[in-house]
Amino acid sequence: MKRLILVAALLSGCSFIMPVKHDPAEAAKLIDIKQKVDTLTCGSTKDHPRWQSAVDDMRWLNMYTEFRADPQAKTIEELYIATQKARDGSEAYCEATLKLQKTRIQVIEKAWKGR
């Protein structure tokens, strides 16, 4: 019986011994997005590659959370769509939208920390 439990523990990996409350891929991508959004600026710099990189990361996270049926998938989808619109909108709209997206990222962080 002890051997059976040992084999089961070995086959299930570390999650059996030390459960992880969050998905490391989601958490890493959210940190990347947060860093990039903090450096985005509106105006003439909206064509900067940072914008496209941030949008690409959001698209990845959006697809990943939908695939995993994550409870935050809808919030991440809204983050992705709003950031695209911010890049294409006026400077005032862009600034207001980026401020909202920073708050949205904090909401996602708090939700994932609470798992």
Q: Is the pLDDT of residue 102 over 50?
A: yes
Q: Is the pLDDT of residue 5 over 90?
A: no
In a domain, 74, yes or no: yes
Question: Is residue 50 very low, low, confident or very high in pLDDT (cuts 50, 70, 90)?
Answer: confident
Domain that holds residue 65: 22-113
The average confidence (pLDDT) of the chain is 84
Q: What share of the chain is helix, strand, coil (3-state, %, to 5)?
A: 80, 0, 20
In a domain, 11, yes or no: no
Q: How many domains is the chain built from?
A: 1
What is the value of pTM for the model shown? 0.76
In a domain, 2, yes or no: no
